[in-house]
Amino acid sequence: MTDSKALKILVYSDDVHTREQVVLALGRRPHPDLPEVEYVEVATEPVVIQNMDAGHIDLAILDGEAVPAGGMGIAKQLKDEIYQCPPLLVLTGRPQDAWLATWSRADAAVPHPIDPIQLAEAVVALLRSRVPATSA
Protein backbone atom coordinates (compact mmCIF):
# COMPACT_ATOMS: atom_id res chain seq x y z
CA MET A 1 0.00 0.00 0.00
CA THR A 2 2.97 2.27 0.54
CA ASP A 3 6.03 2.85 -1.61
CA SER A 4 8.19 2.98 1.52
CA LYS A 5 10.36 0.02 2.34
CA ALA A 6 9.13 -2.01 5.32
CA LEU A 7 10.91 -1.36 8.59
CA LYS A 8 12.52 -4.36 10.28
CA ILE A 9 12.03 -4.82 14.00
CA LEU A 10 14.05 -7.48 15.79
CA VAL A 11 12.18 -8.96 18.77
CA TYR A 12 14.40 -10.91 21.17
CA SER A 13 13.12 -13.11 23.98
CA ASP A 14 13.68 -16.71 24.97
CA ASP A 15 9.93 -16.80 25.67
CA VAL A 16 7.79 -17.29 22.55
CA HIS A 17 4.80 -15.76 24.38
CA THR A 18 6.71 -12.52 25.06
CA ARG A 19 7.68 -12.26 21.40
CA GLU A 20 4.07 -12.92 20.43
CA GLN A 21 2.80 -10.20 22.82
CA VAL A 22 5.17 -7.65 21.28
CA VAL A 23 4.17 -8.49 17.70
CA LEU A 24 0.45 -8.48 18.54
CA ALA A 25 0.73 -5.21 20.48
CA LEU A 26 2.41 -3.40 17.57
CA GLY A 27 0.72 -5.00 14.59
CA ARG A 28 1.88 -4.54 11.01
CA ARG A 29 1.76 -0.76 11.18
CA PRO A 30 2.28 0.83 14.62
CA HIS A 31 1.37 4.28 13.24
CA PRO A 32 -0.27 5.44 9.98
CA ASP A 33 2.61 7.84 9.26
CA LEU A 34 5.16 5.00 9.27
CA PRO A 35 5.77 2.22 6.75
CA GLU A 36 4.65 -1.31 7.58
CA VAL A 37 6.97 -3.36 9.76
CA GLU A 38 8.42 -6.82 9.37
CA TYR A 39 9.43 -8.75 12.47
CA VAL A 40 12.54 -10.81 12.96
CA GLU A 41 11.81 -13.00 15.98
CA VAL A 42 14.91 -14.24 17.77
CA ALA A 43 15.31 -16.56 20.77
CA THR A 44 19.11 -16.57 21.31
CA GLU A 45 21.86 -14.02 21.81
CA PRO A 46 24.10 -15.24 18.95
CA VAL A 47 21.26 -14.76 16.47
CA VAL A 48 20.61 -11.24 17.83
CA ILE A 49 24.27 -10.35 17.29
CA GLN A 50 24.26 -11.92 13.81
CA ASN A 51 21.17 -9.93 12.73
CA MET A 52 22.41 -6.67 14.22
CA ASP A 53 25.85 -7.08 12.61
CA ALA A 54 24.16 -7.62 9.23
CA GLY A 55 22.83 -4.05 9.45
CA HIS A 56 19.27 -4.61 8.21
CA ILE A 57 17.46 -3.97 11.52
CA ASP A 58 15.75 -0.59 12.13
CA LEU A 59 14.84 -1.23 15.79
CA ALA A 60 15.55 -3.98 18.30
CA ILE A 61 13.24 -4.86 21.18
CA LEU A 62 15.17 -6.86 23.76
CA ASP A 63 13.63 -8.75 26.68
CA GLY A 64 15.54 -7.82 29.81
CA GLU A 65 14.17 -10.93 31.51
CA ALA A 66 15.44 -13.38 28.86
CA VAL A 67 17.77 -16.17 29.93
CA PRO A 68 20.58 -17.02 29.78
CA ALA A 69 21.43 -13.69 28.10
CA GLY A 70 19.30 -10.77 29.27
CA GLY A 71 18.34 -7.97 26.93
CA MET A 72 20.04 -5.29 29.01
CA GLY A 73 23.46 -6.93 28.74
CA ILE A 74 22.92 -7.46 25.03
CA ALA A 75 21.86 -3.80 24.64
CA LYS A 76 25.06 -2.61 26.31
CA GLN A 77 27.16 -4.88 24.11
CA LEU A 78 25.41 -3.69 20.94
CA LYS A 79 25.83 -0.01 21.83
CA ASP A 80 29.52 -0.61 22.61
CA GLU A 81 30.26 -2.63 19.48
CA ILE A 82 28.06 -1.36 16.62
CA TYR A 83 28.83 1.99 15.05
CA GLN A 84 25.58 3.95 14.69
CA CYS A 85 23.63 1.19 16.42
CA PRO A 86 19.90 1.22 15.62
CA PRO A 87 17.58 2.23 18.45
CA LEU A 88 17.14 -0.33 21.22
CA LEU A 89 14.10 -0.79 23.43
CA VAL A 90 14.43 -2.98 26.53
CA LEU A 91 11.52 -4.76 28.18
CA THR A 92 12.17 -4.53 31.92
CA GLY A 93 10.88 -6.85 34.61
CA ARG A 94 9.16 -3.99 36.42
CA PRO A 95 8.93 -0.18 36.15
CA GLN A 96 11.53 0.26 38.90
CA ASP A 97 14.13 -1.39 36.65
CA ALA A 98 14.15 1.52 34.19
CA TRP A 99 17.45 2.73 35.69
CA LEU A 100 19.06 -0.52 34.54
CA ALA A 101 17.93 0.21 31.00
CA THR A 102 19.75 3.55 31.31
CA TRP A 103 22.91 1.67 32.32
CA SER A 104 22.52 -0.58 29.27
CA ARG A 105 22.32 2.53 27.04
CA ALA A 106 18.92 1.45 25.69
CA ASP A 107 17.03 4.23 23.94
CA ALA A 108 13.75 3.34 25.68
CA ALA A 109 12.33 0.93 28.25
CA VAL A 110 8.87 -0.55 28.72
CA PRO A 111 8.04 -2.75 31.72
CA HIS A 112 6.39 -6.16 31.83
CA PRO A 113 3.49 -6.84 31.69
CA ILE A 114 3.46 -5.27 28.23
CA ASP A 115 1.03 -2.38 27.85
CA PRO A 116 0.29 -2.20 24.08
CA ILE A 117 -0.26 1.56 24.13
CA GLN A 118 2.94 2.31 26.04
CA LEU A 119 4.93 -0.07 23.82
CA ALA A 120 3.50 1.44 20.61
CA GLU A 121 4.25 5.00 21.75
CA ALA A 122 7.86 4.12 22.55
CA VAL A 123 8.34 2.19 19.29
CA VAL A 124 6.80 4.94 17.14
CA ALA A 125 9.06 7.56 18.74
CA LEU A 126 12.15 5.43 18.06
CA LEU A 127 11.15 4.54 14.50
CA ARG A 128 10.43 8.17 13.63
CA SER A 129 14.09 8.88 14.33
CA ARG A 130 14.93 6.38 11.55
CA VAL A 131 12.36 7.37 8.92
CA PRO A 132 12.49 10.61 6.95
CA ALA A 133 9.36 12.73 7.33
CA THR A 134 6.81 12.26 4.59
CA SER A 135 3.79 14.30 3.63
CA ALA A 136 0.52 12.41 3.60
Element (H, E) at 84: none
Buried b or exposed e, range 4-15, using 16+ CB within 10 angstroms: eeebbbbbbbbe
- For residue 132, what pLDDT is reported? 65
Question: Is 130 within 8 Å of 85 (Cβ atoms)?
Answer: no
User: Model pTM?
Assistant: 0.92
The pLDDT of residue 135 is above 80: no
Domains of the chain by start residue, with CATH: 7-128 (3.40.50.2300)
pLDDT grade for 99, boundaries at 50, 70 and 90: confident
Q: Compute the distance between CA of residue 89 and CA of residue 129 in angstroms, rounded to an integer.
A: 13
The pLDDT of residue 1 is above 60: no
Residues whose CB falls within 8 Å of the CB of residue 41, separated by 6 or more in sequence, listed in order: 11, 19, 23
Reduce the DSSP state of residue 5 to 3 states and report it: coil
Q: What is the average pLDDT across 85-112?
A: 93
Residues whose CB falls within 8 Å of the CB of residue 96, separated by 6 or more in sequence, listed in order: none
- What is the DSSP pairing of strand 108-111 with strand 7-12? unpaired
Rg (CA), the chain: 14
The mean pLDDT of the chain is 92
